[in-house]
Amino acid sequence: MNFHNAWLVFKKDWLEIKRNWQILTPIIIVPLIFSVALPLIIGLIGNMPDANVSNNQDFNVLIPNLPISVQNMLANMTPNMVAVYIMLVYLFAPILLIVPVMVSSVIGSDSFAGERERKTIEALLATPISDSELLLGKILVCFIPAMAVTFVAYSVYMIMVDVTTFSTFGMLLLPNVTWLIMMFGVTPVIALCGIGLTIMISSKVKGFKEAQQISIVLLMPIMGLIFAQIFGLIFLGPLMLIMLIGIFAAIDIAIYYVSIKIFQREEILAKQ
């Protein structure tokens, strides 16, 4: 495989994406809501002395799952502080996993289905770029922006949390080990999984919208993780996150090989 060819496909697609507001708007707006609006609202409300953010009973199922050191720390806090701490540090962490999947879904859906809709696919498939180079190029153009947007979203979120809560807690709540593993470990493997599946869908369906609608389903496992943690079924601590990294890495490798195997130039062309 010639990496230069894959990089070439990446550069060409990225140039197009940069000039396409239909794609850029959702990948800027949604992370902005998650990383700015959520911590701002929760953090500011938590600062109000008479605000009642949540009844601690809401978190009773979650608190026993937390590390002992965190439980001890929470024991010395007011109910409002406990609620704000749990929401900002634990509950919203998996919500940010939606960002890489959403970004890769928007860009990945456009990969082959978009080229087909704009009738540029035939000339591209006629070039000597091999199937694996083409696929890798399309993966890169989803992965690099998805990771960039997610890292920016994580960073903004952490800054917003620390800025809005420092006066109340007297310490920086983020980053912690869980968040670092989430950022640098879980996010890339989940993004790759979403990208692989979205590109596979994009190469099999007729249009961009069809691909995007189907790829929304990929958000379901993330939502599952969020609700499982809320209901105390799992706790996304370092050990669980490392296990998730292993599972998703294995799925990513499988998806890449299956994608190459089922990638059919003729089928892509026939869908025109």
Interacting residues with another protein (CB under 8 A) = 4-5, 8, 11-12, 15-16, 19-20, 118-130, 265-266, 269
**Which of 49, 128 has the CB closer to another protein?**
128
Nearest to 241 by CA among 185, 174, 195: 185
In the bound complex, what is the minimum distance in angstroms from residue 12's beta carbon to another protein?
A: 5
**Which of 37, 126 has the CB closer to another protein?**
126
Distances (CA, A) of 243 to 30, 56, 128, 206, 252: 28, 29, 40, 36, 14
How far out from the chain centre does Cα 22 lie? 19
In the bound complex, what is the minimum distance in angstroms from residue 17's beta carbon to another protein?
A: 9
**Which of 126, 220 has the CB closer to another protein?**
126
In the bound complex, what is the minimum distance in angstroms from residue 176's beta carbon to another protein?
A: 42
| Residues 4/128, Cβ–Cβ less than 8 Å | no
In the bound complex, what is the minimum distance in angstroms from residue 148's beta carbon to another protein?
A: 20
In the bound complex, what is the minimum distance in angstroms from residue 264's beta carbon to another protein?
A: 10
In the bound complex, what is the minimum distance in angstroms from residue 108's beta carbon to another protein?
A: 18
**Which of 129, 144 has the CB closer to another protein?**
129
In the bound complex, what is the minimum distance in angstroms from residue 115's beta carbon to another protein?
A: 9
The angle at the Cα of 105, spanning 222 to 115, to the nearest 5 degrees, equals 165
Nearest to 107 by CA among 6, 215, 255: 215
**Which of 8, 73 has the CB closer to another protein?**
8
How far out from the chain centre does Cα 53 lie? 27
Count how many Cα atoms sit within 13 Å of the Cα of residue 4 in the half-sphere of its side chain. 1
Element (H, E) at 23: helix 21-32
What is the spatial distance between Cα 188 and Cα 26, in angstroms, rounded to a whole number? 20
Assigned token pair, 62: 């979650």
Assigned token pair, 22: 């239909």
**Which of 95, 125 has the CB closer to another protein?**
125
**Which of 118, 206 has the CB closer to another protein?**
118
Count how many Cα atoms sit within 13 Å of the Cα of residue 105 in the half-sphere of its side chain. 21
Element (H, E) at 11: helix 3-18
What is the spatial distance between Cα 174 and Cα 155, in angstroms, rounded to a whole number? 10
In the bound complex, what is the minimum distance in angstroms from residue 9's beta carbon to another protein?
A: 8
**Which of 75, 123 has the CB closer to another protein?**
123
